[in-house]
């Protein structure tokens, strides 16, 4: 397997975390977003959307991080990460969609405009992201209070998908907080495979905050 990624990308990090947690070998190919490598013809041939991550797996070329997570689990029989029982699978899918449809946009608004774009010029976008995150925080705290994982009794791709956004928010000091969320965040970041996906500046920030 070849994973086209960028270390600061939350959409890449969730795939790396799954592959590393499951002990699956893969080649990392960094796509340098800072030089526009995602818009070069050779990359557009893999993903015409010009976005990472992209997974190459035995002739299959796949984009969209949630689809990639599901594909890896199904093709490698990672049943604990993506349970087969219909009700448990439905709940994992619910959280994958929630992360993509509700949580990803405010994460990007805050992270991108703080780290990549000019934060002063884009202060209104950061504020909008933070406002949306404030609305989502009680929903998340309600789901995690008294629970170790989003679904069932062990970590699933739902946790990996969400924690990758949370890591980006932690990096810019905007992570939603609450007793359940904090304990869940610490639990996931203590996992070797999850930490392995974190770039050095993220690890440094987390150590400083601990
Ligand atoms: N829905 C996509 C989003 C992918 C995405 O937004 N990737 C970002 C990096 S986190 C990207 O490639 N941005 C570069 C660009 O849009 O030019 C997924 O889940 O994979």
2-76 and 86-209 share one fold: no
Residues 96-113: tens digit of each pLDDT: 999 999 999 999 999 999
Answer CATH for 2-76 from 3.30.70.100, 3.10.20.310, 3.40.30.10, 1.20.120.430:
3.40.30.10
Residue to probe by mutation, ligand 1, list 43, 52, 105, most atoms within 8 Å of CB: 52
Selection from 106, 115, 103, 23 nearest residue 66 by Cα: 103
What whole-number distance in Å separates Cα of residue 53 and Cα of residue 206?
24
Contact 196/5 with Cβ under 8 angstroms? no
* Longest Cα–Cα distance in the chain: 49
Residues 156-186: tens digit of each pLDDT: 999 999 999 999 999 999 999 999 999 999 9
pLDDT higher than 80, residue 209? no
For 104, what's the count of Cα atoms within 13 Å in the CB-facing half-sphere? 16
Kindly indicate the confidence band of residue 208, based on its pLDDT and cuts at 50, 70 and 90: confident
Residues 16-64: tens digit of each pLDDT: 999 999 999 999 999 999 999 999 999 999 999 999 999 999 999 999 9
Tokens at 88, concatenated? 């448990």
Mean pLDDT of 120-128: 95
Centre of ligand 1 from the C-alpha of residue 88, in Å: 28
Domain residue ranges of the chain, discontinuous segments joined by +: 2-76, 86-209
Kindly indicate the confidence band of residue 210, based on its pLDDT and cuts at 50, 70 and 90: confident
Question: What does the mean pLDDT of the chain come to?
Answer: 96
Three-state DSSP class for residue 22: coil
Quote the pLDDT of residue 206.
85
Quote the pLDDT of residue 173.
96
Under CATH, which number does the domain 86-209 receive? Answer: 1.20.1050.10
Mean pLDDT of 109-131: 94
Q: Which residues line ligand 1 (CB under 6 A)?
A: 9-11, 33, 38, 50-53, 64-66
Alpha-carbon distances of 32 from 8, 38, 61, 175, rounded to whole Å: 10, 7, 19, 26
């Amino acid at each position: 397997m070849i994973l086209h990624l960028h270390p600061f990308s939350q959409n890449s990090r969730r795939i790396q975390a799954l592959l590393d947690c499951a002990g699956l070998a893969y080649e990392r190919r960094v796509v340098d977003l800072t030089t526009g490598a995602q818009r070069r013809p050779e990359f557009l041939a893999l993903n015409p959307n010009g976005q990472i991550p992209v997974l190459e797996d035995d002739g299959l070329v796949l984009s969209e991080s949630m689809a990639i997570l599901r594909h890896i689990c199904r093709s490698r029989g990672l049943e604990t990460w993506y349970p087969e029982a219909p009700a448990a699978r439905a709940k994992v899918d619910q959280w994958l969609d929630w992360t993509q449809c509700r949580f990803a946009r405010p994460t990007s608004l805050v992270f991108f405009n703080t780290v990549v774009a000019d934060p002063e010029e884009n202060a209104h976008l950061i504020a909008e992201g933070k406002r949306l995150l404030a609305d989502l925080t009680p929903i998340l705290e309600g789901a995690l209070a008294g629970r170790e994982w989003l679904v069932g009794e062990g970590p699933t791709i739902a946790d990996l998908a969400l924690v990758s956004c949370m890591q980006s928010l932690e990096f810019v000091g905007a992570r939603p907080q609450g007793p359940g969320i904090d304990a869940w965040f610490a639990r996931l970041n203590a996992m070797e495979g999850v930490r392995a996906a974190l770039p050095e500046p993220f690890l440094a920030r987390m150590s400083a905050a601990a």
